[in-house]
Amino acid sequence: MLEFFTVLADPNVPFLRYALLVGLLSAIPFGIIGSYVVVRRISSLAGAISHCLLAGIGGGLYLERVVGWSYCGPVSGAFVVAVVAAAILAWAHFRAGQREDSVIGALWSVGMAIGLLFLAATPGYTDPMSYLFGNILLIGQSDMYFVLALDVVVLGLAAFFHPQFLALCFDDEFARLRGLPTNWLYFLLLCLTAMTIVLLVRVVGIVMVIALLTLPAAIAGNFASGIGGMMVGAVLACASFIFCGMAISYSLDLPTGPVIICLAALTYLITSLKSSIR
Amino acid sequence: MTEAIVEIRGLSFSYAARTILNDINLTIYRNDLVCLVGPNGGGKTTLIKLILGLLAPDSGSIQVFGLSPCQAIGRIGYVPQHASYDPKFPISALDVVLLGRLRKTLFFRHGQKDRERALAALDAVRMSDLATRPFAALSGGQRQRVLIARALAGDGTMLILDEPTASIDQEATAHLYDLLRSFSGNLTIIMVTHDLGVVSSLFTRVACVNRRAAIHPTSEFSGKMLAEMYGDDSRLIRHDHCCEGGHA
């Protein structure tokens, strides 16, 4: 474990510092948006959005390498698909006739299928594993600015619209009766969730996104009496899972994402058992 | 009791091909205490959602405070039948009531006046000492009162309650009726209920809703009317017994 701190301080190994910094900075949107996702009970929607992102990643790579659009790439592709997926899910939610559950299932797998097709059509070997399971150690300096920008956007919008989001999550019908534009608010909340997931995919990968989005918030929810406290708790829990997960995975030479998730799951199990015994 | 608060003319509404409400005419006046009764699936909740502006009628007109329901949004306090909240939602009773103070502005923050009004609403339902308690830790009856306080906090002059007694015990029900009685004269109240025993003791008028609607003064409310509506008047007898006992 001590070696982890030595390497962290080593000026010749910048990637570990970037990884840690990005991880800790991204704990902020994870905790805040994760709390909304948990109390609004939309973690299956978050799952669908995250799996959809593979279509954006594959499409972005294809456009960049085959079509030659240099401004495209996996991250911008993922962003576009994330917002499209959020729009489809919001639409399905408000069209009474649409079975929301079926739309979630369809998005989930169709997104994966399209992504894999694009990856197969893109020359040169692209390992889908790093997108599916993430690789925090591939994170560079440009990602850090990206995360900082997202921190500002998520914190700003969540702070600005907090009373409205709270009303929407608690009882959307009542929020509508107070004259709030609940459809737009729901779409905005899904967009924020989608943007957070794009970031999350860089850290833990598509498959494990839901765990890192929901577990810290669920853990904090076992203790917090208000949603503000839940968010702070979730941010702190998320940051410590990322920090400890990186330290453990470095020391034991294990992949980082799975270690972070297992830590979060174990903590959730222990805190839930404790609070159910009480 | 002359100013019409809710005016419904020739209203019809159907879900897909099924007619739920047909040619409804109904007028509700200021400080009216109206009770909506009728069989399940008879359209009571639908009628309320039409008044609230959550649904739009197929034909006919509704005016609430002389406006369309969508324009009158925010002027009615509503207590839903099934609240859709997460039972573990981390929120205090006071914060739930503050949701009733939300307004349609882009940037909204609760001010001092909002807090005062929310506390006054909690006081009106005799819940002010539990204001900081987590909503999830309250009993069913207490939660119901907090939701009534949320409806009152918006400063509306009309209160609509959809089967408020469905999920609370008898003692809490008796408290609820005392509470509603204390509002009479200051608020227009519309309540959906199956509890027919309370009809005559609390409300001044009864609206029977079963695809069509007819409104009667409570004094004229009889077993015969119920028999026409439900097709069996034995329910009245059974409910009467249970509720008279409960209120004695």
- Interchain contact, B73 vs A179, CB within 8 Å: yes
The token pair at A62 is: 């294809």
The pLDDT value given to residue B235: 45
Co-location of B56 and B71 in the same domain = yes
Please give the full DSSP string across A86-123, using - where no structure is assigned. Answer: HHHHHHHHH-TTS-HHHHHHHHHHHHHHHHHHHHHHSS
Question: B110 in a domain, yes or no?
Answer: yes
Structure tokens, B141: 């009856």
Q: Give the contacts of A120 (CB within 8 A, at least 6 positions apart).
A: none
Strand spans (E) along B173-241: 188-192, 205-210, 212-217
For residue B230, what pLDDT is reported?
62
Mean pLDDT of A139-162: 85
Least CB–CB distance from B91: residue in A173, A175, A226:
A226
- For residues B166 and B115, membership in a common domain is answered with no
Name residues whose C-beta falls within 8 Å of residue A11's C-beta, 6 or more positions apart in sequence: none
Averaged over B33-55, what is the pLDDT? 88
Q: Is the pLDDT of residue B82 over 80?
A: no
Which of A115-119, B47-51, B78-82 shows the lowest per-residue confidence on average (mean pLDDT)?
A: B78-82
* pLDDT of B237 over the 70 cut: no
Nearest chain B residue to A223 by CA: give it: B90
Share of chain B above pLDDT 70, in %: 87
CB B150 within 8 A of CB B101: no
pLDDT at B240 over 50: no
What span, in angstroms and rounded, lies between the C-alpha atoms of B138 and B155? 24
For the complex shown, is ipTM > 0.90?
no
**Of B135, B189, B202, B124, residue with least CA distance to B158:** B189
CATH number at residue A230: 1.10.3470.10
pLDDT band at A12 (very low <50, low <70, confident <90, very high): confident
CA–CA dist A108, A100 (Å, integer): 12
For residue A261, pLDDT over 60 is answered with yes
Instruction: State chain A's mean pLDDT as an integer.
Output: 87
Domain shared by B44 and B149, yes or no:
no
DSSP state string for A23-70: HHHHHHHHHHHHHHHHHHT-HHHHHHHHHHHHHHHHHHHHIIIII--T
A174 touching B (Cβ < 8 Å)? yes
Same domain as B165, residue B239: yes
Asked if B164 and B240 sit in the same domain, the reply is yes
Asked if B91 and A230 come within 8 Å (Cβ–Cβ), the reply is: no
> Which of A160, A174, A225 is facing B92, going by the closest CB pair?
A225
Number of domains in chain A: 1
By residue range, what is the domain housing residue A126? 2-277
| Same domain, residue pair B95 and B180 | no
The half-sphere exposure of A9 on its side-chain side, counting CA atoms within 13 A, is: 4
Residues of A with CB below 8 A from B154's CB?
Answer: 178
Q: What residues pair up with B213 in beta bridges, in sequence order?
A: B209
The beta strands (E) that lie in B38-75 are given as 59-64
pLDDT at A80 (0 to 100):
92
- For B59, counting Cβ atoms within 10 Å of its Cβ (0-12 exposed, 13-18 middle, 19+ buried), the class is exposed
Q: What is the CATH number of the domain that holds B47?
A: 3.40.50.300
Mean pLDDT score, A261-265: 93
Q: Rounded to an integer, what is the distance from CA A268 to the centroid of its chain?
A: 18
Nearest to A179 among B74, B85, B96 (CB): B74
pLDDT digits (tens, 9 = 90+) for A197-218: 888 787 778 888 888 899 999 9
- Domain coverage including residue B198: 1-19+30-75+158-248
Q: Which of A277, A236, A162, A173 is nearest to B91 (CA)?
A: A162
Is B25 within a domain?
A: no
- Residue A188 in this model has a pLDDT that exceeds 90: yes
Same domain assignment for residues B229 and B175:
yes
Q: What is the dihedral of CA A28, A33, A34, A40, to 10 degrees?
A: 160
pLDDT-based confidence at B242, cuts 50/70/90?
Answer: very low
Q: What is the pLDDT of residues B177-236, one digit of tens each?
A: 888 888 888 889 999 987 777 777 788 888 888 888 878 787 776 666 666 666 554 444
The amino acid present at B206, given as its one-letter code, is V
Q: Map B81-120 to HEC letters.
A: CCCCCCCCCCCEHHHHHHHCCCCCCCCCCCCHHHHHHHHH
Q: Quote the CA–CA distance of A164 and A182 in Å, as a whole number.
A: 9
Shared domain check, B162 and B151 = no
Distance CA A62, CA A123 (A): 8
pLDDT tens-digit series, residues A50-97:
999 999 989 998 898 888 887 777 888 888 999 999 999 998 888 755
Q: Which two tokens stand for residue B117?
A: 């009004």
- A228 phi, psi to nearest 5 deg: -60, -45
Q: Do B73 and A174 touch (CB under 8 A)?
A: no
pLDDT tier, B62 (very low <50, low <70, confident <90, very high otherwise): very high
Of B100, B125, B155, at which residue does a domain stop? B155
Cα–Cα dist B74/B62, whole Å: 16
Name the residue type at position B6: V
pLDDT value for B221? 67
Same domain assignment for residues B122 and B236: no
| Secondary structure class of B24 (helix, strand, coil) | strand
For residue A189, the model assigns a pLDDT of 94
Rounded average pLDDT over B125-140: 88
How far from A189 is each of A83, A87, A136, B137, CA to CA, in Å? 11, 11, 26, 27
For testing the chain B interface, which of A174, A219, A222, A230 should be mutated: the one with the most B CBs within 10 Å?
A: A174
**Spatial separation of the C-alpha atoms in residues B108 and B226, rounded to whole Å:** 48
**Residue-wise pLDDT tens digits, B85-128:** 777 889 999 999 999 998 877 778 888 888 999 999 998 888 88
Task: Judge whether B130 and B142 are in contact, CB under 8 Å.
Answer: yes
Q: Are A252 and A263 in contact (CB under 8 A)?
A: no
* B100 in a structural domain: yes
Same domain, B151 and B164: no
Same domain for B7 and B62, yes or no, is yes
Out of B125, B155, B185, a domain closes at B155
Mutate to test the interface with B, among A177, A184, A214, A275 (most CBs of B within 10 A): A177
Question: What's the pLDDT at B84?
Answer: 66
| Nearest residue of chain B to residue A179 (CA atoms) | B104
- Check whether residue B91 and residue B135 sit in a common domain: yes
Query: With contacts defined as CB-CB under 8 Å, which chain B residues touch A175?
Result: 99, 102
B215 Rama sector, left if φ>0, alpha if ψ -120 to 50, beta otherwise = beta
For A216, list phi and psi in degrees, rounded to 5.
-60, -40
Indicate if the pLDDT at residue A7 is higher than 60: yes
Q: How far apart are CA A127 and CA A74, in angstroms?
A: 13
Give yes or no for a contact between B108 and B98, defined as CB atoms under 8 angstroms apart: no
| Nearest Cα to Cα of residue B3 among B115, B157, B179 | B157
Task: Using an 8 Å CB-CB cutoff, list residues of chain B that contact chain A.
Answer: 52-54, 73-74, 76, 78, 80, 83-86, 88-92, 95-96, 99-100, 102-104, 107-110, 134, 150, 154
Tell me how many domains chain B contains: 2
pLDDT of B172 > 90? The answer is no
Domain termination site, one of B119, B139, B155: B155
Residue B82, in any domain of the structure: no
Q: CB–CB of B99 and A171 under 8 A?
A: yes
Report the C-alpha gap between B164 and B80 in whole angstroms: 8
